Amino acid sequence: MNVLVITEQRDGKFNPTSFEALAAGQQIAAETQGRLAGVVIGKGVAALADELAKVKLDEAWLAEHELLEAYTPDSYTIALSQVIAQAKPDLILLPHTYQVRDFAPKLAASLGKGMIGDCVGYRNENGKLIFVRQMFQGRTAADVTFLGDGPCFASLQAGAFRGDQLARGASPAPVKTAAVELKPEQIRTKPLELFREAKQAVDLTQAPILVAVGRGIKAAENIALAEKLAKALGAELCASRPICDEGWLPMDRQIGSSGQTVSPKLYLALGISGAIQHVVGMKGSRTIVAINKDANAPIFEVADYGIVGDIFELIPALTEELSKSA
Amino acid sequence: MKILACIKQVPAKDAPLAIAEGGAWIREADVTFEMNEPDSFALEEALRLKEKHGGEVVVISMGPERVKQTIKEALAKGADRGIHVADEKFYALDPLSAARSLAAAIAKESPDLVLTGLQSDDHGFGQTGVLLAALLDLPHATLIMQIEVTGGRMKLKRELEAGWFQWVESPLPAVLTIQSGINKVRYATLKGIMAAKKKEIATIARESLGVTSEATQRIERIYVPQKTKKTEFISGTAKEAAGKLIEKLRHEARVL
């Protein structure tokens, strides 16, 4: 099976999830006796294509155009469908980033094909690829297969494959320049400046201990309970997205795909169900404690220690235990 | 402005899930259903745009008879009318077939703006909005946190990863997927619930839309995921569990 990995770059730097997708591509191409290609898309990104060519693959494609300087879903869809016509892959792999979510379904649909999104793994059953993805906010997994002719599209969840296990080639692969034709009138949206909302007040990535609250905390006035526990632990307080959406904690204390990605030595998840958008931001923590009333909450999938119970009893009990033995 | 909001009905957040016989879906008889939360933000944004710029809010939902309840909820919140694309086995459609059906129904309405949530809490494909744009040949933008409409164009605040945002301009008509948390979702008032009783829900059988339902992918089975990590569960009263946990964090995990 010939595999094409669409890498992602911004300002001349690869998004590291690109290496994870390439690692998956190496594995699938090797298992199915296929060839592996990668593509770099943008403007003035030839150096990145050379960097890509050092990865163990059969060819590196360079898709450049004046109109690819800033990302737009229209320009990327048109350019990449031209790359696909030239590279002729059976399977196209992408990292499941916000940008990929913005254009990849459209790219697949423009070719009349489907995409299996946000895959956490795959199995090769006698040459047939079965992709595994999560459903019901991570409460179930699903085995999904492609039907009909290729090319097929699959995007891979961050962390599902090991970018650090990417094999380097003995010598650089050839770099092929894709012919890209784009006209300004084909691009209907106009991208303007990138910005950050506010200077990030707290850098949660540096905190050795984090106390995180989720929907289970129920009301703004209950945040104080968790705050006391955080103080007793010498921890920073953080939250899953819904808590910040409600304004109970500021947005810069959000952990997950739209917030910060952390890996403290201890992460206490209080009343957090464990939706994947949250878990991707904290699953690298050294020790994870989850307290939740629902024994089936997906947060327990990643927890080292779990307590099934009422956080409104357990948070004060933990705070008291710490104060008494400190 | 004619705004079309796509809303999906999904199992309630805390509904216990049991896998159905055959293994490809859940046992629906066991669960209650509610409006997909990300879509409720899209609906709210549609209602706010109408309040500001005038026009009409039409909601569309696909699925079996029960999804009418979710359409009624949207009407009670202030949507003007509903479209029910009836399909008993909607759950089995792949993202492209589902979007083709919705696109065919939406095309008949020629809306100025189509809004969807960023993903559904059941399948979680997260593709419908982008696919609708492709199929309707409209521009799109995703993960929208703010919409400003002036002179037939929109200025949009798009959320990127890791705390970054971007302004994007788009012409109308267009398709937008709305990021959760963009607004505070309203509750239906009693007056709204009464008014909804007089509002129209048009039902279209999905087969009558004449779109192919040739699937590009199939869910072979769903199952409770295998644990990658062994979780040690701590039991006892709150006080006992707290004591045991602190002990383990100090002397076993050695993180305190």
Chain A nearest CA to B221, separation (Å): 6
Nearest Cα neighbor of B13 from A213, A137, A270 is A137
Structure tokens at B26: 């859940």
Nearest Cα neighbor of B114 from B137, B93, B94 is B137
What mean pLDDT do residues A13-26 have? Answer: 95
A42: amino acid identity, one letter: G
B134 to chain A, any CB pair closer than 8 A? The answer is yes
- Contact indicator for A140, B223 with CB cutoff of 8 Å: yes
Looking at residue A202, its pLDDT comes to 75
Please tell me the total number of residues recorded for chain A in this structure.
326
Integer Cα distance of B70 and B60 in angstroms: 10
What mean pLDDT do residues B143-172 have? Answer: 93
Cα dist from A310 to A103, A217, A222, A287, whole Å = 42, 10, 13, 21
Query: What rounded mean pLDDT belongs to chain B?
Result: 94
B142 to chain A, any CB pair closer than 8 A? The answer is yes
- Contact indicator for B198, B59 with CB cutoff of 8 Å: no
Which residue in chain B has the smallest CA separation from A208? B255
CA dihedral for A160, B94, B9, B90, sign (positive or negative): negative
A155 to chain B, any CB pair closer than 8 A? The answer is no
Integer Cα distance of A138 and A280 in angstroms: 11
Looking at residue A219, its pLDDT comes to 95
Does pLDDT of A199 surpass 70?
no
Which residue in chain B has the smallest CA separation from A255? B162
Residues of B in contact with A185 (CB under 8 A): none
Instruction: Determine, for residues B253 and A317 on separate chains, whether the beta-carbon distance falls below 8 Å.
Output: no
Instruction: Determine, for residues A309 and B238 on separate chains, whether the beta-carbon distance falls below 8 Å.
Output: yes
Looking at residue B228, its pLDDT comes to 67
Residues of B in contact with A148 (CB under 8 A): 214-216
Instruction: Determine, for residues B124 and A266 on separate chains, whether the beta-carbon distance falls below 8 Å.
Output: no
Instruction: Determine, for residues B241 and A314 on separate chains, whether the beta-carbon distance falls below 8 Å.
Output: yes
**Local confidence band at A11 (pLDDT 50, 70, 90 cut-offs):** confident
Instruction: Determine, for residues B241 and A317 on separate chains, whether the beta-carbon distance falls below 8 Å.
Output: yes
B22 to chain A, any CB pair closer than 8 A? The answer is no
Q: What is the pLDDT of residues A234-261, one digit of tens each?
A: 999 999 999 998 999 998 899 998 888 8
- Contact indicator for A249, A274 with CB cutoff of 8 Å: no
Domains observed in chain B: 2-209 (3.40.50.620), 225-256 (no CATH)
A183 to chain B, any CB pair closer than 8 A? The answer is no
Q: What is the pLDDT of residues A266-278, one digit of tens each?
A: 999 999 999 988 9
**Surface of A (86-125) touching B: CB under 8 A:** 97-99, 101-106, 108-110, 113-118
Structure tokens at A94: 């992408």
Looking at residue B163, its pLDDT comes to 76
Domains observed in chain A: 3-186 (3.40.50.620), 204-325 (3.40.50.1220)
Looking at residue B227, its pLDDT comes to 67
- For the question of whether the overall pTM of this predicted structure is more than 0.95, the answer is no
Q: What are A44's strand-pairing partners?
A: none
Question: A185 Cβ partners below 8 Å, 6+ apart?
Answer: none
Largest CA distance in chain B: 66
* DSSP element (H, E) containing A121: strand A115-125
Integer Cα distance of B61 and B47 in angstroms: 16
Does pLDDT of B61 surpass 90?
yes
Please tell me the total number of residues recorded for chain B in this structure.
256
CB-defined contacts A:B, below 8 A:
255
CA dihedral for A283, A287, A293, A295, sign (positive or negative): positive
Burial class (CB in 10 A: 0-12, 13-18, 19+), B165: middle
Looking at residue A258, its pLDDT comes to 81
Compute the radius of gyration of chain B from its Cα atoms: 21
**Surface of B (168-197) touching A: CB under 8 A:** 168-171, 174, 179-181
What mean pLDDT do residues A83-97 have? Answer: 97
Selected residue with higher pLDDT from A229 and B14: A229
Instruction: Determine, for residues A141 and B11 on separate chains, whether the beta-carbon distance falls below 8 Å.
Output: no
Integer Cα distance of B29 and B11 in angstroms: 11
Integer Cα distance of A31 and A50 in angstroms: 26
Which residue in chain B has the smallest CA separation from A305? B232
The phi and psi torsions of B2 (rounded to 5 degrees) equal -95, 115
Integer Cα distance of A318 and B4 in angstroms: 49
**Local confidence band at A179 (pLDDT 50, 70, 90 cut-offs):** very high
Q: Which of B157, B164, B214, B231 to mutate to test the interface with A (most CBs of A within 10 A)?
A: B231
Instruction: Determine, for residues B249 and A97 on separate chains, whether the beta-carbon distance falls below 8 Å.
Output: no
Integer Cα distance of B42 and B40 in angstroms: 5
Does pLDDT of A198 surpass 80?
no
Residues of A in contact with B217 (CB under 8 A): 114, 116, 144-147, 152
Instruction: Determine, for residues B125 and A117 on separate chains, whether the beta-carbon distance falls below 8 Å.
Output: yes
- Contact indicator for A119, A154 with CB cutoff of 8 Å: yes
Selected residue with higher pLDDT from A200 and A60: A60
